[in-house]
Amino acid sequence: MSSFSGIWVPLVTPFHQGEIDFAALKSLCARFLKRGVDGVVVCGTTGEAPMLTKEEQLQVLDAVLEIVPGQQVIMGLSGTHMPVIRAMQDAILERPVAGLLIPAPYYIRPSQAALVTWFTEIADHSTVPVVVYNIPYRTGVHMELETLRQLAKHPQITAVKDCGGSIDLTLSLIADGELDVLCGEDVQIFSTLSLGGAGAIAASSHIFTEEFVALINQFKKQDIVAARKIFFGLLPMIRLMFSAPNPAAIKYALSLDGLMDNELRSPMLPAPENVEHAIRDFLNQRSR
Give all strands (DSSP E) within 86-215, no chain letters: 99-103, 130-134, 157-162, 180-183, 199-201
The total number of structural domains in the chain stands at 1
Question: 98 by DSSP, 3-state: which?
Answer: coil
Query: What is residue 288's predicted lDDT score, i.e. its pLDDT?
Result: 61
Q: Is residue 83 part of a domain?
A: yes
- What is the predicted pLDDT for the residue at 183? 98
Tell me if 65 is assigned to some domain: yes
Assigned domain for 104 exists: yes
Q: Of 89-98, 158-167, 218-227, 279-288, which gets the smallest average pLDDT? A: 279-288
CATH number for the domain spanning 43: value is 3.20.20.70
Structural domain contains residue 49? yes
Residue 279 lies in a domain: no
Average pLDDT in the chain: 96
- Give the pLDDT score at 287: 76
Give residue-wise pLDDT tens across range 125-136. 999 999 999 999
In a domain, 251, yes or no: no
Q: Considering the domain boundaries, does residue 281 fall inside one?
A: no
Q: What's the pLDDT at 58?
A: 98
First CA to last CA distance, the chain: 45
pLDDT, average across residues 105-121: 96
The four Cα atoms 179, 128, 75, 82 give a dihedral, to 10 degrees, of -100
Whether 2 shows a pLDDT value over 90: the answer reads: no
By annotation, the residues acting in catalysis are 133, 161
Confidence of residue 179 (pLDDT cuts 50, 70, 90): very high
Residue 114: predicted pLDDT? 97
Bridge partners, 92 (sequence order): none
- Whether the pLDDT of residue 244 is over 60: the answer is yes
What pLDDT is attached to residue 164?
83
Give the model's pLDDT for residue 171.
Answer: 96
Q: How remote is the C-alpha of 76 from its chain's centroid?
A: 9
pTM of the entire predicted model: 0.96
Q: Which domain holds residue 142?
A: 6-222
* 252 assigned to some structural domain: no
- What are the angstrom distances between the C-alpha of 242 and each of 63, 110, 161? 27, 28, 18
Query: How big is the chain by its Cα radius of gyration, in Å?
Result: 18
Q: Mean of the pLDDT values across residues 170-195? A: 97
